[in-house]
Structure 1
Amino acid sequence: MGKIVVTAFVTLDGVIQAPGLPDEDRDGGFAHGGWTQPYVDPELERRFTRNVLAADALLIGRRTYDLFASFWPTASPEDPRAHQLNTQPKYVASHTLTKAKWDNTTVLGGDLVDAVIGLKRRYDEISVWGSGTLVPLLLRHDLIDEFLLMLHPIVLGEGKRLFPEGHQTTFNLVESTTTSRGVTILGYRRP
């Protein structure tokens, strides 16, 4: 059976909302979008790229799909991440999206847990990015095998969190690196 690897840009207080752009996600009046930008360096970019290239398929929620589908199809073809994301199979979990416009994308409706189990049987590695609503569902059903957390040295005090309250699970640390700008890259795997 394949594995699901969740990659998340996260603050010290667990916020994952709108890491890349100021207007990425203003839900709840969130005004801190783009908080990762001061911390980007070549080492973080290399690790991010390595993770994108390792995946056989991409599984994302509707909001992340909308963001990715608006950016990656027009990204520079010189960027290996763009090529990988545009050509690999993609699956979007949504109850409202009926047809995906991004090439090689399948909309997963209905019983998402069964669909994800089927994907794990089909692919060696499935990457999940962002997807703050999808990740808690996957956690509740013990479908996440690894986390790659890019922990940024910032506390925002508000915003959507990666981990839902009331859920407990255990992972082992398998990777730990700190970039020149203070981002700690942490890899965790299920025992």
Structure 2
Amino acid sequence: MSTAESGRIIIDLFTTLDGVAQGPGGTDEDTSGGFDFSGWQAGYPSSGVGGQVMVGMTHLDALLLGRRTYDIFAAYWPHHTDGASGDIGVLFNRVPKYVASRNADIALDWNASSRVGADLASEIADMRARHREVHVIGSLDFVHTLLAEGLFDELKLWVYPILLGAGKKVFDDGALPSVLRLLEPPVADDGGVLLLRYGRTDRVPGVGTFRD
């Protein structure tokens, strides 16, 4: 867990109530495994989420992305630096982008992009030393690695009142057993979308037995 002096690794995910975080933003984002609901978030407009996202990006000064999310962002954000989403586009284009990949020969053409993955724990420690807030957006397969190795400081979930059943979940069976700390009261918008912010701790879940 990071110290008060170090930067933070913040995971940002959109998820359904039953924990599905696969392909929220578009119909062609992620249909792997025969997933029929890619684009489910875009199909449920929410008045409060956009403002919450922008507030959460106030101190972002680097991105840490999985390869699939990086490719989606690199194809979109360089061409969207004005209009309703212009502020995010300008920010994403400006800040350093770290891309998690096992392939040392990948081409990263978006400006200020570099690969990580040779020694993730060491590389994340270096990011904490360099940056105030590094945000991991989407990148679900990579998020599973961070959750398994405890390499994050905050987990931020936008929970939609949708049930999908099948699909890649926020938490798989590899998540490191741990107790998270609620950082602020939950925030809900008029569409029933709930923002939950949890901080990582070093506590391990305890066990016991309830008795009369």
Question: Does the TM-score normalized on the shorter chain lie above 0.5?
Answer: yes
After superposition, give the CA deviation of every residue in 1:81-129 in whole Å (9 maximum; x if it has no partner): 0000010011000123522011111111412222112111211111001
Give the alignment partner of residue 16 of structure 1, picking from 9, 15, 21. Answer: 21
Unaligned runs of 5+ in 2: 1-5, 202-212
Is the aligned partner of 1:149 residue 2:154?
A: no
Is the aligned partner of 1:179 residue 2:189?
A: yes
> C-alpha separation between the residues in 2 aligned to 1:135 and 1:51?
18
Is the aligned partner of 1:89 residue 2:96?
A: yes
Tell me the secondary structure at the aligned position of residue 135 of structure 1. helix
Deviation at 1:166, TM superposition (A): 4.6
2:111 is aligned to 103
> C-alpha separation between the residues in 1 aligned to 2:163 and 2:134?
29
* TM-score between the two structures when normalised by the length of structure 1: 0.94
> C-alpha separation between the residues in 1 aligned to 2:38 and 2:174?
27
After superposition, give the CA deviation of every residue in 1:50-104 in whole Å (9 maximum; x if it has no partner): 2233211100100110111111111133411000001001100012352201111
More displaced stretch, 21-30 vs 135-144: 135-144
**Structure 1 vs Structure 2 CA RMSD:** 1.5
Give the alignment partner of residue 147 of structure 2, picking from 135, 139, 152. Answer: 139
More displaced stretch, 52-61 vs 160-169: 160-169
1:125 is aligned to 133
> C-alpha separation between the residues in 1 aligned to 2:174 and 2:64?
24
The structure having more radius of gyration, on CA atoms, is 2
- Cα pair 1:53 1:81 within 8 Å, conserved: no
* TM-score between the two structures when normalised by the length of structure 2: 0.85
Identity of aligned residues (%): 38
Is the aligned partner of 1:28 residue 2:33?
A: yes
- Cα pair 1:99 1:107 within 8 Å, conserved: no
- Cα pair 1:57 1:88 within 8 Å, conserved: yes
> C-alpha separation between the residues in 1 aligned to 2:150 and 2:135?
15
Give the number of equivalent residue pairs: 191
What amino acid maps onto 1:10 in structure 2? T
After superposition, give the CA deviation of every residue in 1:113-149 in whole Å (9 maximum; x if it has no partner): 2211211121111100111121121122221111110
What amino acid maps onto 1:88 in structure 2? V
More displaced stretch, 51-60 vs 176-185: 51-60
> C-alpha separation between the residues in 1 aligned to 2:96 and 2:81?
19
- Cα pair 1:53 1:84 within 8 Å, conserved: no
Unaligned runs of 5+ in 1: none
- Cα pair 1:39 1:182 within 8 Å, conserved: no
Q: 1:76 to 1:121 in 2, by over 3 A?
A: closer
What amino acid maps onto 1:171 in structure 2? L
Deviation at 1:174, TM superposition (A): 1.9
